[in-house]
Amino acid sequence: MLSHVLDADDAAAFDNFMRDAPFGAYQQTRAWAAAAPRHARRGWQFFICRADGEIVGAAVIRSTRLAAKSWLATLQRGPVVHDPAALPLVLGALHRALKQAGCCSVQAAPRVRGRPLPLVAEAMRDGGYVPLPAEAQALHHVSGIVWLDKPEAAILAGFKQRARRALRAAEKAGITVRPVAGEDDLKTYQHLLDRFAASRSDYDMSGQPDARGQAHLIERSGGAMLLAERDGVAVGAHAFVRQGDEAIWLSLVTLDRDGASPGYPLLWQAMRTAAAMGCVGYDLAGLPDDEPADAGEAGRVQFKTAFAPHRRVMPPMQMLVLQPVQHLLLFGARAVYRRLRRASARRG
């Protein structure tokens, strides 16, 4: 079943299935479809696959209108299954529903790791999926996880020395961290997001919800929003959202002052908050698969690795062509347009 709107019964069943999924993701929730940035050519659909009356697979699908009534389906961290053995059945049903609805191509990458990873990779390959090239990967497929299922002292002791040193420096500088509370704090959070985006042209934040969208997602899925302050002035903000028994970094922005970074106490307090909620791990939302691409990414990697995360590998985003002629025409034109736009930007 593929639908733009779920009735009350299907919506409740969909939400329960996603909530209980061992490899669920916030991008595969109805809350994400409501919180994600709006775009004139994009919309959202919901897919449910049942076997013997029970849901065995589901997905939140972002639809992007292309031309001639064709559209691209993007499943960020989906489709979702509870049993990896059900993925071939779910993919078959998904492809039939999408093709019937006029979908040209589909991009997907279930959020799995560990033992199920080879089973999922084989099902995707047998389903005809091909990994997108590195430059077209919109989501990370390598990340770092900090385990929280231990006493706070043990978590802190597991960080690298530079993280502990930075935490002490932030405390000495008078940086404090507290939860976002109320409308004024949301406005402050948005102000920090805007200032950070304006100062970091190398960092793409276009796919990130605004402060209100993040608050909505956290209200529905769990998590927290935090502000860092110094001398009564907000100098940083961080939000995380729950994914089952883990937390994942949603946004982090800082305005460093006098060498004491608010990022370290923000992330440490987020981990403490997540652990108090019962989360066993904190996902740092991406590490490069290879060497950092630029100085900005190198700085972000240095910050994240200071917390000594364990490396996690997931499937990369992959594509399946459902209608070859339309795909060739539309994506060929799209590629030419993007090359011309990049060339124009270089000349300008």
Dump pLDDT digits (tens) for 245-273. Answer: 999 999 999 987 677 899 999 999 999 99
Cα 37 to Cα 5, 34, 194, 322, distances in angstroms: 18, 9, 15, 27
Q: How does pLDDT run across 9-43, given as a tens digit for each residue?
A: 999 999 999 999 999 999 999 999 999 998 888 99
Same domain for 69 and 146, yes or no, is no
pTM given for the model:
0.89
Same domain for 115 and 187, yes or no, is no
Amino acid symbol at 87? L
Cβ atoms of residues 104 and 70 within 8 Å: yes
Mean pLDDT of 154-179: 96
Domain count, the chain: 2
Same domain for 21 and 157, yes or no, is no
Same domain for 187 and 71, yes or no, is no
Q: Which range marks the domain in which residue 19 is found?
A: 2-136+316-347
pLDDT of 347 above 70: no
pLDDT band at 344; cut points 50, 70, 90: very low
CATH number at residue 40: 3.40.630.30
Give the pLDDT score at 257. 65
Give the pLDDT score at 294. 75
Give the pLDDT score at 330. 64
Q: Exposed (0-12), middle (13-18) or buried (19+): which is 339, by Cβ within 10 Å?
A: exposed
Same domain for 167 and 34, yes or no, is no
Mean pLDDT of 144-166: 97
Considering the chain, what is the average pLDDT of its residues?
Answer: 90
More reliable by pLDDT, 222 or 203: 222
- Residue 331's CB is within 10 A of a number of other CB atoms, namely 16
Amino acid symbol at 305? T
Same domain for 236 and 333, yes or no, is no
Same domain for 170 and 304, yes or no, is yes
Q: Which residues contact 111 (CB under 8 A, 6 or more apart)?
A: 23, 24, 25, 28, 77, 78, 80, 314
Same domain for 131 and 192, yes or no, is no
Same domain for 156 and 301, yes or no, is yes
Same domain for 123 and 216, yes or no, is no
Same domain for 297 and 322, yes or no, is no
Q: What is the DSSP letter of 208?
A: S
Same domain for 197 and 124, yes or no, is no
